[in-house]
Homo-oligomer: A and B are copies of this chain.
Amino acid sequence: MPRKPAPGTRERILDVAADLFDRRGVHAVGMQQIIDGVGCGKQLLYREFPSKDHLVVAYLERSAQAWASTLARVCATVDAPEDQLVELVRAVQGMAPNTRGCPLRNTHAEFPDPGHPAHQVSLKHFQDVREQLRELARRTPAAHPDRLGDRIMLIIDGLYVSGSTLGPTGAGATAVGLAQDVVRAEIAAQAV
């Protein structure tokens, strides 16, 4: 059984691949470019990732983990659930300094075939996020928590997309302000 040559090999490959995928899109990046970027041989890459699909899936799962980390960090930093929702929107604004938007959203758009693993992995992620946001909203005193969660999800989706075309600054301010107002309105509706 072949041993791993260096412990960080898998991560290094993923670093290079993620950078290229983020900037140019998955379809436009060939395996050879990734190999050249890593600076190692073909064997090594194909040992870690038997096919490009495997590599893409690993890339998506890593992006999903980045979201999970953000969620955990925000929940650990901010106390009130209603503030957590707003802070998540602000965190998304900060997560996309480039103008290309969300890796999972972009890759999802690149693989419309429902049978493709990249499509399935990204789709499951969005369903998970929706449930997480609804769960957070249920801890607030909002009148309709599921509606609040879905609205925050819509704002985050719009932020990713608008930010990739209109620039992150303008769209970011719009999204955060809107999220604040939405949360406030839902809480106020409860007070009535």
Residues of B close to A156: CB separation below 8 A: 158
How big is chain A's contact interface, by range? 35 or more
| Segment of A61-69, A78-86, A174-182 engaged in the interface with chain B | A174-182
Q: Copies of this chain, how many?
A: 2
Residue of B28, B157, B181, B185 touching A112 (CB-CB under 8 A): B28
- Does A138 touch B at the CB level, under 8 Å? no
* In the complex, chain B residues whose CB is within 8 Å of the CB of A181: 182, 185
Q: Is the CB of B153 within 8 A of A24?
A: no
A27 touches B27 (CB 8 A): yes
- Which B residues are CB-close (under 8 A) to A164? 108-109
- Distance A153 CA – B175 CA, assembled complex (angstroms): 11
Complex alpha-carbon distance, A27 and B105, angstroms: 17
Which of the segments A3-11, A35-43, A123-131 contacts the partner chain?
A123-131
Binding site for B on A (CB under 8 A): 23-25, 27-28, 100-101, 105-106, 108-113, 123, 126-127, 130, 147, 150-151, 153-162, 164-166, 170-171, 174-175, 177-178, 181-182, 185
